[in-house]
Structure 1
Amino acid sequence: MMAESERSTRQRRRNSMVIPLDFRLVLVGKTGAGKSSSGNNILGRDAFGAAVSQSSVTRECCKQSDVVYDRQVTIIDTPGLFDTSLPQQTVKREIAKCINMSAPGPHAILLVIKVGPFTNEEQDAVRQVEEIFGEDAWKYTIILFTQDEQTGPDIERQLEEAGPELQSILRKAGNLYHVLNNDKTNDRGQALDLLEKVEEMVTNNEGQFYSNYNYLQVVEMLNKRESALREFYQKQMEEKILAVESKYKKMLSEVQQEHEKVEKRLRSEQQEVKRYYCALESGVRHVVEQTVPTDSMEDILKFHEALKLKFTS
């Protein structure tokens, strides 16, 4: 009865606020935890280059979107946060890109942990996530346990037997977690269950996404840079349009000059034809005076042909 009352209360609360139909989700966690595979699983397609070996894991921050169960889902996949093979400066740049791509802030941070022993490397990765997003981000965090056929389905028992470190992380996240079997990507119910948990968490957060001072700064920076870049391209476009206009005006001018030249040539030839035949006409009397009654028109024309140079020269 109590559970039904809680569900009714949550439903009334959900109905009383506007829940976004688009979700920004950030995948974080140690190298090899299954972030890229989880992103592919959620979107239902090969959106991220999932690793087939430790040497080929995703190293660059990547953003992909798709419609999943009538929701516009945007996922930001991050490089391994504890990847010792990457220079720290490279990791910092990728994290900055992650914040840029998820601005104005993620609706959920999915902390990806592979089912199994919770290692020191994973603990360090969690600490780095806290450093990047801050303590307040736990309200917007869902622990995403990834498993395969070998790890088995009994996640509840494994969590009960988990050490204090993992138990502490679960408490920070409000014991909100989800299990993804990335060997069963055709089981679309997994993605729906996760998105419903994200939606419930967003409802509990009064429809808000996660933000902090860094995100506010990033939003301001992105807006300024976007405005500056748009202004730059607008100026470039105007300059290019003027250059094209100038080019074609020159071509039209050259065509006009050529047109005038052709017209001048036409008039000259017309005048020459007129002069030629006027000269012939002026000699007609002289021609006919030299004919006899028996001459045909053909004879007269031949005679005229013989004399025309004299009259036209």
Structure 2
Amino acid sequence: MASVKVKPRRRLSLDNPPNMSRETPLRMLVFGDSSQDQISLTRSVLGQDVFTRDEVNISATKKNSGVVQERNITLVNAPNLQDNDLPDSILHKELRKAVCFSCPGPHAVVFVVDPFHLTSNTMDILKPMVHYFGECVLKHTLIVLYHERGMRTQSIEDEVKKNKSFRALAEKCSQNYLFFNGEVNWTEGNQTQALLTKVEKMVREQGMFSNMEFKDAEKRIQIEERFIKKSKEKEIRETLKALENQHSGEALASEILRYEEKIQLECREKAELVVADKLGFTLRLVDYAVAVGKGAFVGALLGFAVGYEGMAVGAAVGAGLGAALGGAANAVWSYIYKSFTDAH
């Protein structure tokens, strides 16, 4: 590695920042009542066509980043919950990708809706998200009422507030909602500014959204990052050596910093993809504690220390001790074995 030292940037804690620095990248996890609304909002905020013309339906999680108003912005579009009839296994896989792509946690979960098509089942669209992430995710959810009609926002807002379904939805999300006119935003950009300001306000009040799933994924991603970076050591050494031969002084320091940021981003994105394919054990354990009973579940975890056989024995003993809570040793072993097989 080169001997030139570059002053490291200060790492900011995002768990509950009192004031967000403009250097802090904003991560938003996006859901919607239609794929077109999600695509239109993403395009409007990032100011570029990140979706192809053929992409009219979001059925797979997609991550897009850009610099908007001097801020690094990342929008992670999860599969559209209205346009798709995805099997649970596929939906969970895509939601695991959404977790990895927005680690260590999104600053806001954005739910895009059409203010002119609010229906009684609008709230139902959020149910899979709430089921997967938990009820507390609603405190971090921002409802974005996206449209591109040449109407005064106030007249639209007055009409929307009369809608009983919207009032119930807004109440669930702590009255965090925002009207966004895509047509106006293309010429003025003030709608995006309002969106970023609203997200920053929510972060100051609630912090970013995180749970055990995000924390587990972040740890795995960091470990995977180190493996990937280690595999690139020779390439990195050769590139830094070439930079030393081409530059000196501040120019060298600047080039090294730019290169290190590029490598870090590449390793991070590769690690996210790798972990997204492997993630799922944490969620299964949570579901399983309910499915087979706490006695068997805890017993299996205690037996984990001595390997597969210990887990089976631990599950059997735990199931016996916690019979009142339910649980079957055979089910424990079958489930855990499948989980570890998938993980490997």
CA positional deviation for 1:150: 7.3
Contact 2:67/2:73 (8 A) holds in 1: yes
Instruction: State how far apart, in whole Å, the 2-side matches of 1:51 and 1:196 are.
Output: 32
Distance change (3 Å), C-alpha of 1:42 and 1:50 = farther
Partner residue of 1:61?
Answer: 61
Distance change (3 Å), C-alpha of 1:204 and 1:84 = closer
Partner residue of 1:26?
Answer: 29
Distance change (3 Å), C-alpha of 1:84 and 1:72 = closer
> How large is the RMSD of aligned CA atoms in angstroms?
2.8
Contact 1:30/1:121 (8 A) holds in 2: no
Instruction: State how far apart, in whole Å, the 1-side matches of 2:54 and 2:145 are.
Output: 17
Q: Counterpart of 1:162 in structure 2: which amino acid?
A: N
Matches within 5 A, 1:1-313: 17-21=18-22, 22-32=25-35, 34-49=37-52, 56-119=56-119, 122-149=122-149, 153=153, 154-163=155-164, 165-184=165-184, 185-205=186-206, 208-232=207-231
Instruction: State how far apart, in whole Å, the 2-side matches of 1:105 and 1:213 are.
Output: 11
Number of residues paired by the alignment? 217
TM-score between the two structures when normalised by the length of structure 2: 0.57
Matched residue SS, 2:179 = strand
Contact 2:81/2:125 (8 A) holds in 1: yes
Instruction: State how far apart, in whole Å, the 1-side matches of 2:140 and 2:151 are.
Output: 27
Instruction: State how far apart, in whole Å, the 2-side matches of 1:34 and 1:66 are.
Output: 19
Matched residue SS, 2:193 = helix
CA positional deviation for 1:134: 1.6
Deviations 1:130-186 (A, max 9, x none): 1222211222211100113278742222222112x3212101222121112233423
Q: Counterpart of 1:200 in structure 2: which amino acid?
A: K
Deviations 1:105-151 (A, max 9, x none): 00111111111243355332211121222211222211100113278
Identical residues among aligned pairs (%)? 24
Please, which runs of 5 or more residues in structure 1 have no aligned partner? 1-15, 239-313
Partner residue of 1:245?
Answer: none
Instruction: State how far apart, in whole Å, the 1-side matches of 2:54 and 2:108 are.
Output: 23
Q: Counterpart of 2:214 in structure 1: which amino acid?
A: Y
CA positional deviation for 1:51: 7.0
CA positional deviation for 1:87: 3.6
Q: Counterpart of 1:66 in structure 2: which amino acid?
A: G
Runs of 4+ aligned structure 1 residues displaced above 6 Å come to 235-238
The structure with more radius of gyration: 1
Contact 1:31/1:80 (8 A) holds in 2: yes
Partner residue of 2:11?
Answer: none
Instruction: State how far apart, in whole Å, the 2-side matches of 1:119 and 1:63 are.
Output: 29
TM-score between the two structures when normalised by the length of structure 1: 0.62
Distance change (3 Å), C-alpha of 1:187 and 1:133 = farther
More deviation, 228-237/168-177: 228-237
Please, which runs of 5 or more residues in structure 2 have no aligned partner? 1-16, 238-344
CA positional deviation for 1:189: 0.7
CA positional deviation for 1:91: 2.3
